[in-house]
Structure 1
Amino acid sequence: MPAINEWKTRAAEHLRRDSEDWRIEPRQARLLILVPFIIAVVAAAALPFKDFYLWLVNEDSLIEWLQFACLLAASIFLPLITVYLVRAKRWGIAALYAVVTLGVWFLTGEEISWGQRIFGWATPESLNEVNRQGETTVHNIRGVQELVPAAMLLASLYGACAPLVWAAAGKRWEQLKNRRLLIPPLCLVPAFLLAAGYRLFRLLIWPEPTFVISEYAEAMELSLYLGLAMFCWYNLRLLREPQPGPGRNQARGLHRRAA
């Protein structure tokens, strides 16, 4: 028990310091930790109620539109971040964010079938023959579809593990210049961790694509996209803050030493 209590204390301290570093209010950090679990529990609790469960996870229903909202937010934040990085002449990380921006734009379009179900156009015959859902999407094409879970797993594992590795490393990587742009806040770990856990469960324990288990992926994708959107937002918010000059940095360092 003392070891567990010590671990809890250290974890809480890491979370507090990390949230302060990101300018995240403690209440907001706690909420971001809880929301992915709420999403997971609500979706699981809906399983015995077929109509309600289908309303949650079906195409063009609640969870899918929440996914789109998160992706749309990220697709707005990412190019703005890229512009700030270009202006600061941080070319390497700006190029990385430009690539990620294109990827998220593509994912956002795919999430709503590029507007097909909104505007009601017909799927081209050549695409309809190879698309599992008969829609204007790439991720449902046979052959590509099998790559999507692997990509989701890698993205989720990175988002979950990178902050934990950073916290364990302590001050050894403290001076990493692009740390915030590459490593999400600790309070977003559950959002990525639950998505990664679901993908690992499907890969190692339940590979059979039964309807209920497969559709539960929608809830976990919402958790992942929420984590992505909030990660982008916090970075954009920090980049928009006035950058302190050398004199202010020196004064801040003197203040910290005096404290």
Structure 2
Amino acid sequence: MEEAGRAGAARGRDRRWELKPGDLLKHSLPGAVVAVYAALAVLSPRLLESLAQEDSWVEWLTFGFFAAAAAAQLAAAWRRPPAEAWAPAALAAFCLLVAGEELSWGQRLLGFVPPEAFLAGNVQQEANLHNLLQAALKPKWLVVAVLALWGTAAPLALHLAAGRLGRAQGPLRRLAPPEDLVPWSLLGAGLLVAYPVDFTGEYVELLTGCLFFLAAPGRAAASLPRAPLSVLPWLLAAAGWAAVESQARLGSASKNECAALETRALASRVAAGGATERLLDKEHLHKRAFSAVGAGYLRPEVLSVLESVACPGAAPAPLRRRYLVDPWGQPYWIRYQEDPEAGAQVATLYSFGPNRRRDSTDSGDAAGDDILARTSPLDEDGAGPGSGSEDDAVLR
């Protein structure tokens, strides 16, 4: 009898690895993410980058899948007795945290300026916690840890220990994803470690969101209408995208004018000796303006340039100006590269504009609602002709 019981348990464990009706549809979701990523990496790297930009489709879908996973786990926790609710509640809290971090807690959507601690200590000047850890631990390793521990080690350990955990088996299994999702977790972790192309991390984060959504317990899915639960991530992503697009049409004229004045002032100061020799020695640089000062590409006096800019109809904003942040709470950027028309290196200072998303091209040409100001060619001293005048920057 004992041997028969062990054999039955072994057959049960093996069946968890068998494909069941509907599995093809389930695996098509992470499969589609990986397929799109691989195809774009080979055929259209620019489109791969464009889709992965902040507030573009990859980010909004990542938010959508984590938010939908949180809703499903909360539904599961609500339907269980308190002694069993902790596992789905913990997963719901984690998914909500990731969803909020993915959108910087609404910073770009709402256009607020983060507290000074985030502006000074976060290289991306965003209102999120994971980038504060970047000096000690890059965010990609946090995702690798989640995929390795939650996505791989936990289901494998439960598979091997089936029948030996007693009452703990149920709650622990509700924490771990199904075993058949392990290959996707391994693939995601491997892609992050190898990082074959830029923006790999954004696509793996989307893959991870899909896995958390697919790992939501069956009772959670049954507690919500199946069709709405299935389309919830897509609805959230579409709503976010629409909100971002509407911001460009409903933008404030005074903020547009202020950003134009500030980018022009920054470009003029860079052209008037604000660029350091370290910048002039580079062929190409694309960086947040505040970070460029910290990295020694721009002189420290650039930080005080915006204090003297008078923006009609705008309230005083000493904090954002001190950290070179635009009126929508986004950092100003500098792009330094050769201008084919001028045949020389120029610097472009720009804001993402009302939609709070980069639209300009790699060549520095204006696109979308980005607000740009470009310096005249810089010489070896970091100055353009007639440096110091307003004519040293050309508004684009």
Shared fold (TM-score, shorter chain, > 0.5): yes
Report the Cα offset of residue 50 of structure 1: 3.3
Match of 1:29 in 2: 23
Match of 1:98 in 2: 89
RMSD of aligned Cα (Å): 3.1
Match of 1:161 in 2: 153
Matched residue SS, 1:56: helix
Larger radius of gyration: 2
Q: Percent identity?
A: 26
Structure 1-normalised TM-score? 0.67
Alignment partner of 1:113 is 2:113: no
Report the Cα offset of residue 104 of structure 1: 2.2
> As a proportion of its length, which structure holds more strand?
2
Tell whether the 8 Å contact from 2:17 to 2:179 is kept in structure 1 after alignment: yes
Structure 2-normalised TM-score? 0.46
Alignment partner of 1:236 is 2:220: yes
Matched residue SS, 1:232: coil
Deviations 1:170-214 (A, max 9, x none): 655687333541332233223322222223435xxx8xxxxx34x
Structure 1 residues 11 and 219 mapped into 2: Cα distance closer, same or farther (>3 Å)?
Answer: farther
Partners of 2:160 and 2:86 in 1: how far apart?
28
Match of 2:32 in 1: 38
Higher relative contact order (CA 8 A, sep 6+): 1
Aligned AA (1:197): G
Partners of 2:222 and 2:173 in 1: how far apart?
9
Structure 1 residues 52 and 162 mapped into 2: Cα distance closer, same or farther (>3 Å)?
Answer: same
Matched residue SS, 2:41: coil
Matched residue SS, 1:178: helix
Report the Cα offset of residue 113 of structure 1: 1.2
Partners of 1:78 and 1:146 in 2: how far apart?
29
Alignment partner of 1:135 is 2:126: yes
Structure 1 residues 117 and 11 mapped into 2: Cα distance closer, same or farther (>3 Å)?
Answer: same
Aligned AA (1:181): R
* 4+ long deviations beyond 6 Å: none
Partners of 1:159 and 1:235 in 2: how far apart?
20
Matched residue SS, 1:136: coil
Tell whether the 8 Å contact from 2:87 to 2:171 is kept in structure 1 after alignment: no
Match of 2:331 in 1: none
Residue ranges of structure 1 left out of the alignment (5+ in a row): 1-9, 20-25, 207-211, 241-259
Matched residue SS, 2:123: coil
Alignment partner of 1:81 is 2:76: yes
Tell whether the 8 Å contact from 1:33 to 1:187 is kept in structure 2 after alignment: no
Residue ranges of structure 2 left out of the alignment (5+ in a row): 1-11, 225-396
Aligned AA (2:155): P
Alignment partner of 1:58 is 2:53: yes
Alignment partner of 1:182 is 2:184: no
